[in-house]
Protein backbone atom coordinates (compact mmCIF):
# COMPACT_ATOMS: atom_id res chain seq x y z
CA UNK A 1 0.00 0.00 0.00
CA UNK A 2 1.40 3.32 -1.06
CA UNK A 3 1.53 6.07 1.47
CA UNK A 4 0.28 9.46 0.27
CA UNK A 5 3.04 11.88 -0.64
CA UNK A 6 3.39 14.72 1.85
CA UNK A 7 2.19 18.05 0.68
CA UNK A 8 5.03 20.40 -0.29
CA UNK A 9 5.79 23.03 2.34
CA UNK A 10 4.72 26.41 0.96
CA UNK A 11 7.57 28.72 0.08
CA UNK A 12 7.58 31.89 2.10
CA UNK A 13 7.93 35.27 0.37
CA UNK A 14 11.36 36.83 0.67
CA UNK A 15 10.08 39.77 2.73
CA UNK A 16 8.46 37.39 5.23
CA UNK A 17 11.67 35.38 5.57
CA UNK A 18 13.57 38.57 6.30
CA UNK A 19 10.97 39.62 8.84
CA UNK A 20 11.19 36.27 10.61
CA UNK A 21 14.98 36.46 10.59
CA UNK A 22 14.87 39.98 12.04
CA UNK A 23 12.52 38.78 14.77
CA UNK A 24 14.84 35.92 15.67
CA UNK A 25 17.84 38.26 15.78
CA UNK A 26 16.01 40.74 18.01
CA UNK A 27 14.89 37.97 20.34
CA UNK A 28 18.46 36.75 20.56
CA UNK A 29 19.75 40.23 21.33
CA UNK A 30 17.06 40.68 23.97
CA UNK A 31 17.94 37.35 25.58
CA UNK A 32 21.63 38.24 25.70
CA UNK A 33 20.91 41.67 27.17
CA UNK A 34 18.93 40.04 29.98
CA UNK A 35 21.96 37.86 30.81
CA UNK A 36 24.35 40.80 31.16
CA UNK A 37 24.59 41.91 34.82
CA UNK A 38 22.68 45.11 35.47
CA UNK A 39 22.03 47.48 38.32
CA UNK A 40 18.56 47.33 39.89
CA UNK A 41 16.20 50.14 38.98
CA UNK A 42 16.22 51.19 42.63
CA UNK A 43 19.91 52.11 42.43
CA UNK A 44 20.76 55.81 42.77
CA UNK A 45 17.26 56.54 44.09
CA UNK A 46 17.44 58.44 47.41
CA UNK A 47 15.11 56.89 49.97
CA UNK A 48 13.47 57.92 53.21
CA UNK A 49 14.22 56.20 56.48
CA UNK A 50 11.25 54.54 58.15
CA UNK A 51 11.12 53.81 61.88
CA UNK A 52 8.65 51.14 63.04
CA UNK A 53 7.53 49.81 66.39
CA UNK A 54 7.58 46.12 67.27
CA UNK A 55 4.20 45.63 65.57
CA UNK A 56 5.48 47.17 62.33
CA UNK A 57 3.48 50.35 62.84
CA UNK A 58 5.19 53.37 61.32
CA UNK A 59 6.51 55.78 63.95
CA UNK A 60 8.52 58.16 61.78
CA UNK A 61 9.30 58.74 58.13
CA UNK A 62 12.22 61.00 57.21
CA UNK A 63 12.74 62.98 54.03
CA UNK A 64 15.11 61.55 51.44
CA UNK A 65 18.15 63.55 50.32
CA UNK A 66 16.11 65.22 47.56
CA UNK A 67 13.43 66.38 50.04
CA UNK A 68 10.95 63.69 48.95
CA UNK A 69 9.13 61.10 51.00
CA UNK A 70 10.01 57.89 49.19
CA UNK A 71 10.13 54.23 50.23
CA UNK A 72 11.05 51.36 47.93
CA UNK A 73 9.12 48.15 48.51
CA UNK A 74 9.24 44.93 46.46
CA UNK A 75 6.34 44.27 44.11
CA UNK A 76 5.20 41.27 46.16
CA UNK A 77 4.67 43.56 49.18
CA UNK A 78 2.24 45.82 47.32
CA UNK A 79 -1.48 45.11 47.47
CA UNK A 80 -2.62 43.07 44.43
CA UNK A 81 -5.77 45.22 44.38
CA UNK A 82 -3.65 48.34 44.00
CA UNK A 83 -1.52 46.76 41.28
CA UNK A 84 -4.61 45.79 39.30
CA UNK A 85 -6.16 49.24 39.76
CA UNK A 86 -2.97 50.93 38.51
CA UNK A 87 -2.77 48.69 35.44
CA UNK A 88 -6.46 49.24 34.72
CA UNK A 89 -6.06 53.01 34.94
CA UNK A 90 -2.63 53.59 33.46
CA UNK A 91 -1.79 50.77 31.06
CA UNK A 92 -4.20 47.85 30.78
CA UNK A 93 -2.12 46.32 27.97
CA UNK A 94 1.14 46.53 29.94
CA UNK A 95 1.85 42.80 29.73
CA UNK A 96 0.98 42.59 26.03
CA UNK A 97 3.07 45.34 24.43
CA UNK A 98 6.79 45.95 24.15
CA UNK A 99 7.42 49.32 25.83
CA UNK A 100 5.11 51.25 23.48
CA UNK A 101 1.39 50.95 22.76
CA UNK A 102 1.23 52.04 19.09
CA UNK A 103 -2.53 52.69 19.13
CA UNK A 104 -2.45 54.87 22.27
CA UNK A 105 0.68 56.68 21.13
CA UNK A 106 -0.71 57.37 17.66
CA UNK A 107 -3.93 58.75 19.12
CA UNK A 108 -1.97 60.92 21.54
CA UNK A 109 0.30 62.32 18.80
CA UNK A 110 -2.70 63.07 16.57
CA UNK A 111 -4.68 64.87 19.28
CA UNK A 112 -1.67 66.76 20.65
CA UNK A 113 0.22 67.82 17.53
CA UNK A 114 -2.20 67.49 14.58
CA UNK A 115 -5.79 68.19 15.61
CA UNK A 116 -4.59 70.05 18.72
CA UNK A 117 -7.80 69.15 20.56
CA UNK A 118 -5.94 68.68 23.85
CA UNK A 119 -2.65 67.38 25.12
CA UNK A 120 -2.75 63.60 25.53
CA UNK A 121 0.13 61.58 26.94
CA UNK A 122 -0.24 58.09 25.48
CA UNK A 123 2.69 56.90 27.59
CA UNK A 124 2.88 53.31 28.76
CA UNK A 125 4.12 52.43 32.24
CA UNK A 126 7.51 51.60 30.73
CA UNK A 127 7.67 55.03 29.10
CA UNK A 128 6.74 56.71 32.37
CA UNK A 129 9.46 54.80 34.22
CA UNK A 130 11.95 55.93 31.56
CA UNK A 131 10.90 59.55 32.05
CA UNK A 132 11.10 59.38 35.86
CA UNK A 133 14.26 57.29 36.07
CA UNK A 134 16.26 59.29 33.53
CA UNK A 135 14.68 62.71 34.26
CA UNK A 136 13.50 63.23 30.69
CA UNK A 137 11.47 66.14 29.33
CA UNK A 138 8.87 64.46 27.13
CA UNK A 139 6.51 67.29 26.16
CA UNK A 140 8.19 67.92 22.80
CA UNK A 141 8.28 65.47 19.89
CA UNK A 142 12.05 65.06 20.31
CA UNK A 143 11.63 64.46 24.03
CA UNK A 144 8.93 61.88 23.37
CA UNK A 145 11.24 60.06 20.96
CA UNK A 146 14.01 59.94 23.60
CA UNK A 147 11.46 58.60 26.07
CA UNK A 148 10.44 55.82 23.65
CA UNK A 149 14.06 54.80 23.03
CA UNK A 150 14.75 54.66 26.77
CA UNK A 151 11.58 52.64 27.35
CA UNK A 152 12.61 50.12 24.68
CA UNK A 153 16.00 49.82 26.36
CA UNK A 154 14.36 49.23 29.74
CA UNK A 155 12.21 46.43 28.35
CA UNK A 156 15.23 44.79 26.76
CA UNK A 157 17.13 44.85 30.05
CA UNK A 158 14.48 44.41 32.72
CA UNK A 159 11.44 42.22 33.26
CA UNK A 160 7.88 43.51 33.31
CA UNK A 161 7.76 42.90 37.07
CA UNK A 162 10.89 45.00 37.64
CA UNK A 163 9.52 47.86 35.53
CA UNK A 164 6.13 47.78 37.26
CA UNK A 165 7.84 47.75 40.65
CA UNK A 166 9.88 50.81 39.64
CA UNK A 167 6.76 52.66 38.51
CA UNK A 168 4.92 52.02 41.77
CA UNK A 169 7.92 53.21 43.78
CA UNK A 170 8.78 56.31 41.72
CA UNK A 171 5.40 57.72 40.69
CA UNK A 172 4.48 61.15 42.15
CA UNK A 173 1.53 60.89 44.53
CA UNK A 174 0.99 64.50 45.62
CA UNK A 175 3.15 67.24 47.13
CA UNK A 176 6.62 65.82 47.88
CA UNK A 177 5.49 62.19 48.12
CA UNK A 178 6.74 59.62 45.63
CA UNK A 179 5.76 55.99 45.43
CA UNK A 180 2.69 54.20 46.68
CA UNK A 181 4.40 52.89 49.83
CA UNK A 182 5.13 56.34 51.24
CA UNK A 183 1.74 57.61 50.07
CA UNK A 184 -0.09 54.78 51.84
CA UNK A 185 1.58 55.66 55.13
CA UNK A 186 1.06 59.41 54.75
CA UNK A 187 -2.56 59.31 53.54
CA UNK A 188 -3.92 56.17 55.20
CA UNK A 189 -1.49 55.35 58.02
CA UNK A 190 -1.00 51.77 56.86
CA UNK A 191 1.44 49.63 54.84
CA UNK A 192 0.73 49.52 51.14
CA UNK A 193 0.11 45.77 51.38
CA UNK A 194 -3.06 46.45 53.40
CA UNK A 195 -4.86 49.11 51.35
CA UNK A 196 -8.52 48.43 50.58
CA UNK A 197 -10.27 48.97 47.24
CA UNK A 198 -11.23 52.62 47.81
CA UNK A 199 -7.70 53.46 48.93
CA UNK A 200 -6.23 51.56 45.99
CA UNK A 201 -8.40 53.50 43.54
CA UNK A 202 -7.27 56.75 45.16
CA UNK A 203 -3.58 55.91 44.85
CA UNK A 204 -4.07 54.77 41.26
CA UNK A 205 -5.65 58.02 39.99
CA UNK A 206 -3.51 60.60 41.81
CA UNK A 207 -0.40 60.36 39.56
CA UNK A 208 -2.17 61.72 36.46
CA UNK A 209 -2.74 65.01 38.30
CA UNK A 210 -0.94 64.95 41.67
CA UNK A 211 -1.46 68.63 42.48
CA UNK A 212 -5.26 68.47 42.03
CA UNK A 213 -6.07 64.93 43.14
CA UNK A 214 -3.99 64.47 46.30
CA UNK A 215 -6.32 63.73 49.27
CA UNK A 216 -4.86 66.64 51.22
CA UNK A 217 -5.57 69.12 48.39
CA UNK A 218 -8.37 71.64 48.14
CA UNK A 219 -9.98 70.25 44.97
CA UNK A 220 -11.69 67.15 46.39
CA UNK A 221 -14.04 66.98 43.39
CA UNK A 222 -11.16 66.24 41.02
CA UNK A 223 -10.16 63.22 43.10
CA UNK A 224 -13.73 62.00 43.54
CA UNK A 225 -14.50 62.27 39.82
CA UNK A 226 -11.34 60.43 38.80
CA UNK A 227 -11.85 57.73 41.41
CA UNK A 228 -15.50 57.26 40.39
CA UNK A 229 -14.44 56.82 36.76
CA UNK A 230 -11.91 54.17 37.69
CA UNK A 231 -14.44 52.47 39.96
CA UNK A 232 -16.79 52.02 36.99
CA UNK A 233 -13.99 50.32 35.06
CA UNK A 234 -13.33 48.15 38.10
CA UNK A 235 -17.01 47.16 38.37
CA UNK A 236 -17.03 46.19 34.67
CA UNK A 237 -14.29 43.70 35.53
CA UNK A 238 -15.49 42.81 39.05
CA UNK A 239 -19.31 43.16 39.16
CA UNK A 240 -19.46 42.11 42.82
CA UNK A 241 -17.69 45.34 43.77
CA UNK A 242 -20.86 47.27 42.90
CA UNK A 243 -22.93 45.25 45.37
CA UNK A 244 -20.30 45.70 48.08
CA UNK A 245 -20.31 49.46 47.52
CA UNK A 246 -24.09 49.60 47.84
CA UNK A 247 -23.93 47.82 51.21
CA UNK A 248 -21.67 50.47 52.76
pLDDT digits 0-9 by tens, 67-97: 999 999 999 999 999 999 999 999 999 999 9
pLDDT of residue 119: 60
Beta pairing partners, 60: 51
**Helix %, strand %, coil % for the chain, to 5?**
60, 5, 35
pLDDT of residue 247: 44
Lowest mean per-residue pLDDT among 32-36, 83-87, 123-127, 159-163: 32-36
Quick one: average pLDDT of 115-122?
64
pLDDT of residue 216: 73
* Backbone dihedral angles phi then psi of residue 7, each to the nearest 5 degrees: -70, 140
Return the ∠ at Cα 157 (arms to 156 and 161), rounded to 5°.
Answer: 95
- Segment (H or E) for 178: strand 177-178
Residue, of 75 and 9, whose pLDDT is higher: 75
Residue, of 66 and 122, whose pLDDT is higher: 66
Is residue 66's pLDDT more than 60?
yes
Strands 50-52 and 58-61: antiparallel
pLDDT tens digits, 130-162: 999 999 988 887 888 899 999 999 999 999 999
Lowest mean per-residue pLDDT among 82-86, 111-115, 224-228: 111-115
C-beta neighbour count of 1 within 10 angstroms: 2
Q: Using DSSP, state whether 137 is helix, strand or coil.
A: coil
127 vs 145: CA distance, rounded Å: 10
Is residue 244's pLDDT more than 60?
yes
**In terms of C-beta density within 10 A (0-12 exposed, 13-18 middle, 19 or more buried), how is residue 67 classed?**
exposed
Confidence of residue 206 (pLDDT cuts 50, 70, 90): very high
Is residue 122's pLDDT more than 80?
no
Is residue 40's pLDDT more than 90?
yes
Q: For the CA atoms of 235, 169, 90, 212, what is the dihedral angle to 10 degrees?
A: 90
Lowest mean per-residue pLDDT among 31-40, 176-185, 189-198: 31-40
Lowest mean per-residue pLDDT among 5-14, 50-59, 118-127, 137-146: 5-14
CA distances 49 to 67, 104, 194, Å, are 12, 38, 20
Amino acid sequence: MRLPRPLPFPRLPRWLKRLVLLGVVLLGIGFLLRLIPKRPLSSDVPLSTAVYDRDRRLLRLTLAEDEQYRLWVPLQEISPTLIEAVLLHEDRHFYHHFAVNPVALGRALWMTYVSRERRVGGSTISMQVARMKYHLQSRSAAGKLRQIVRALWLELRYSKAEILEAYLNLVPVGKNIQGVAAASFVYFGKPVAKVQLGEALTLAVIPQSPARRAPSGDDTQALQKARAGLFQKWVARHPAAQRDAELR
